[in-house]
Amino acid sequence: MVFEIVKPDEIEKRSMEIITSELNGRTWPEPQFSIVKRCIHTSADFDYADNLVFSEDAARIGVEALRNGAHIVTDTKMAASGINKGRLSAYGGQVHCFISDDDVVAAAKERGCTRATICMEKGAEIAKEHPVIFAIGNAPTALIRLAELIDGGLKPALVIGAPVGFVNVVESKEFLMERDVPFIVPKGRKGGSNIAATICNAMMYFKD
């Protein structure tokens, strides 16, 4: 067996070259193309070339929001850990994940709902003072509650709707996409915390 010898600092570049080649000439306007490629790079799944849905100019809106100090609220510690907090901080933003906060645990138990639901409500409070990108990588209930909050007047800078799984996942994404709000959504069952974080990072790494 013969392995390709690639220097550590060349691995990502080489990976992106392979992805671009295997897309067989398919391209998207930037910064969408960068997001598509990074999602494929993270997952080794070319389905993201077909299932990523962008509302009008959503990728550009997300890039500009981050550059202007937007905060990111996510539903999982995994997504929060995967987001480049140094780059985000340089722009003036912060990552928030409330899933293990005592008040969130208590409120979810009292109301008989998921902690992710309460997390979105806490995120909505941050949105009163800062632009907020909501990056949902696990819980359909987070996306459903977020859509309800949008109906009530919440105006996110962007919603990344990437819950993964089988129960209410497809439906929650469709529910969100009916709202007049910038969104990036991998349609269908696929997604995950890694994809939500990747989309955030792709927008931060994008260079005009």
Residue corresponding to tokens 């008040």: 103
Listed in sequence order, the residues at least 6 apart from 17 whose beta carbon sits closer than 8 Å to its beta carbon are none
Alpha helices by DSSP H, 28-99: 32-43, 48-51, 58-67, 77-82, 85-91
The bridge status of strand 158-161 relative to strand 183-186 is parallel
d(CA 78, CA 205): 19
Secondary structure of residue 176 in the 3-state scheme? helix
Please check whether residue 37 is in contact with residue 18, taking contact to mean a CB–CB distance below 8 angstroms. Answer: no
159: three-class secondary structure by DSSP: strand
Instruction: Decide: residue 159, CB within 10 A, 0-12 exposed, 13-18 middle, 19+ buried.
Output: buried
Catalytic residue check, 71: no
Please identify which of the residues 41, 71, 96, 130 carries the catalytic annotation: 41
Which residue numbers are catalytic? 41
